[in-house]
A and B are shown apart, each in its own frame.
Chain A
Amino acid sequence: MDKLIIAGRSFTSRLMVGTGKFASNEAMVAAMEGSGSEIVTVALRRVDIDNPRDSLLHHIDPERFLLLPNTSGARDAEEAIRLARIARAAGCEPWIKLEVTPDPYYLLPDPIETLKAAEVLVKEGFIVLPYINADPVLAKRLQEVGTATVMPLGSPIGTNKGIRTRDNIAIIIEQAIVPVVVDAGLGAPSHAAEAMEMGADAVLVNTALAVSRNPGAMAAAFRKGVEAGREAYLAGLGKQQDKAEASSPLTGFLGQ
């Protein structure tokens, strides 16, 4: 497959995976392996000294995976900026998946706070990958302040509903000057393939893998979906039309 380039860095895989909600670290590692991903997202939380757990980082080889910390839990720009700085202090490269989700029910991203935070973080030298609703105007504004991608949602986080924002994602892709990563709501490999067929540059998947009976196998299935979708996009899909058009010749019938 052709390479994905984000902020000058080249990736072979167009599937990013999240590390949340897995039943065990083994299941998470199986998904990371099966996916062929090179970018994995992680979150930042307070340590829980009453329930000490094995460090997540023991299971993620930094030579093989780019760690993409998110700002999940942030309810406004200030909290997101604070989390991004903490992630950088942890020794990560300055890549940040910016998400600001004040509404705990639908977890929809706040566009105004996201744009505010993006502006500050870009100035501080972060490579900013903002999670957004599929709003083409917002996507444009974010690119203007210098984000490295835009990450429009297919449907709300963890819903497995697939791409319910298709028309707006198509506009975002058409107008984008940075890679478009469809994030959130992709519940099946066919959803990932659909995003890639539309011309998305990459997808991010977490819940669909984590809740599967077999995360490693599901990740491999998503990998194939992403590859199939990308190859179809590059090969050029046929136009849809209403009238039938025969695939077989319309001459030389028996009895003519």
Chain B
Amino acid sequence: MEIIFNGKPREIQASISIQEFLDQLRLDCLQVVVEHNRNIIPRQRLAETVLNRGDTLEVIHFVGGG
């Protein structure tokens, strides 16, 4: 199924959790913040939040800036 991940369409397995998705991408959940359909998902809820077709997912982290 397809979701919109960081602004681009992406094929993922059906009914995986956000935590599983981050694990597949080797992203450390302690280093990122996740927005799911414009709602910020607290870290402790990443494993229980399941992705659905057409969902929008933003995965944000800190970079250098002024």
Identify the A interface with B (CB < 8 A): 18-22, 28, 41-47, 49, 52, 55-57, 67, 69-70, 72, 82, 85-87, 89-90, 157-158, 184, 204, 206-207
Encoded as 1 (CB less than 8 Å from any A CB) or 0, chain B from 6 to 31 comes to 11000000000000000001111001
In contact, A45 and B66 (Cβ under 8 angstroms): no
Within 8 A of A (CB), among B23-44: 25-28, 31-33, 35, 38, 40, 42
In the complex, A90 Cα to B28 Cα: how many Å? 12
A126 to chain B, nearest CB (A): 15
Given A46-B58, A47-B6: A89 and B40 interface contact (C-beta under 8 Å) = yes
B3 to chain A, nearest CB (A): 14
In contact, B65 and A18 (Cβ under 8 angstroms): yes
What total count of A-B pairs have CB within 8 Å? 87
What interface size band does chain B fall in? 20 to 34
A36 to chain B, nearest CB (A): 18
Identify the B interface with A (CB < 8 A): 6-7, 25-28, 31-33, 35, 38, 40, 42, 58-66
A35 to chain B, nearest CB (A): 13
In contact, A56 and B63 (Cβ under 8 angstroms): yes
Q: Which one of B25, B38, B60, B62 has the greatest number of beta carbons of chain A within 10 Å?
A: B62
